[in-house]
Amino acid sequence: MPTRLLLLLGLLSALASASGCATAACKRVRDDRQEFLRRRGSGDAAQLVVAVPMATLSQSLSWPLSKLPPVSVPLQVPGLDLGLGSLEISLRSIQIVPAAEGQLGLRVSFALASRGRSITAIDLDATVVPQILPQSNTVRLSLRAQDLVRIRPSLPPAERAKFSAFLRNQLPGGAEALLGRGRIDEAAEKVLADLVERHFPAVRDNLLTRVGTLVDVEIELPPVPLQRVVLRSPGQDLELWLHTTLPAAPLAAGPARLPGSDARLVQVRMSGSVAAELANQGIARGQIPARYDESGEASPTGEFEAGVGWQSGPRPLRIHAWKQKPVCAHVEFAATPRLSAERGEISIAVPDAKVEQVTGAAKAKLAFWFSGLGRQTFAFSQAIAGATEFDLLGVDYEATPLRAATVGDDLFIDLSLAPSKPTRKP
């Protein structure tokens, strides 16, 4: 057989082999892409939680009450012909307290004072069931003045003791020795009973009428596709556990708030898988570029389609780049994201980034992919967390990221609240 014919047959064999390899590579790339598109969630489990300090909410709700003038009532001791002046009763505070799951406890405190000096307090405790609207991503809490009419006031023993001590100080010199401490304590109980039964309802109605709605809180949750919201208040935080329809893994087991974090700040905790899926959602909606060139630069005509994943274990952040023509390739980048927040913006560092695997033939510039799509992934997470808004008694509060971190498979973002600046009308 002539040498030229042998060379031709060898060339044809090599081309056939290369074509077969290319076909196999393209099939693997297509299969990888389809498997990524078929990803599913983990069922009915919380994937995000928003922890709001009860003290912050209580302070914001109580501040308007300080403007209300007190109401005076005469101070009379039943059975004794003694005029001891008057008491001033004012609305002191609204405090959010722990309650059963799905409910919120509220304590409305009335301060009793004499000549500007605080004496004791009368509390009204109420429980409200919030209105949760997953379709509009809002939670609303409301307490009206009339909701407190049937609630009996409470005075803990410590507050009663304060009132007894006040009454003893108000009596003329020698009265305690003449009457005895036990009788004075009995008189104090009668004064309190008379105050609670006869005077307090009118004072309460007088004060509450001026307020109307005591509590009106609307929380606009992060704009994620919600399935349901579970409200809990076991300790110092109002916790909103969000179950989404995203194909994402649930939160790691543990408390809503990262131990040791600043308890004065709102904290949004999401699984790393949610951060990845939010980026994929942004890609699908055109909020994040979907196509990239070989260098990792966004380009509407780029040959690579992109996707973001989170795989528990070393280097959990995964960026995928698929090319299905003219030469098929799938590049998977992996890194451990280190997050920080400066001037209200989240920044990402990936010191251990690497190309995890390559299917087919492709050259990829690692740094560009992480500085591009990697940065946008967490910028998008920041935007989602920062979209949490609060309306407290008609005052809008904006959330600004102050800190960010990844711990295990979860992402934590701390937010500060501040009243929104009014927009100037032209």
| Integer Cα distance of 374 and 274 in angstroms | 14
| Integer Cα distance of 18 and 304 in angstroms | 22
Q: Which two tokens stand for residue 6?
A: 């042998």
Query: If you average pLDDT over residues 170-195, what whole number do you get?
Result: 69
Q: Which range among 10-24, 133-147, 400-414 has the greatest average pLDDT?
A: 400-414
In the structure, what pLDDT confidence band is assigned to residue 107 with cuts at 50, 70 and 90? confident
Look at residue 370 in the predicted model and tell me its pLDDT.
Answer: 65
Number of Cβ atoms within 10 Å of the Cβ of 296 = 25
* CB of 398 closer than 8 Å to CB of 329: no
Query: If you average pLDDT over residues 253-277, what whole number do you get?
Result: 92
* CB of 11 closer than 8 Å to CB of 17: no
pLDDT tens digits, residue range 310-364?
Answer: 999 999 999 898 888 778 888 888 988 888 877 677 777 888 888 888 887 666 5
Q: Which of 160, 315, 139, 136 is nearest to 217 (CA)?
A: 139
| Integer Cα distance of 352 and 298 in angstroms | 23
Residues contacting residue 424 through CB under 8 Å, at least 6 positions apart: none
The full set of domain ranges for the chain reads 32-47+246-419, 53-217
Number of Cβ atoms within 10 Å of the Cβ of 262 = 14
Q: How far is CA 338 from CA 296, 345, 412, in A?
A: 20, 14, 11
In the structure, what pLDDT confidence band is assigned to residue 126 with cuts at 50, 70 and 90? confident
Look at residue 368 in the predicted model and tell me its pLDDT.
Answer: 57
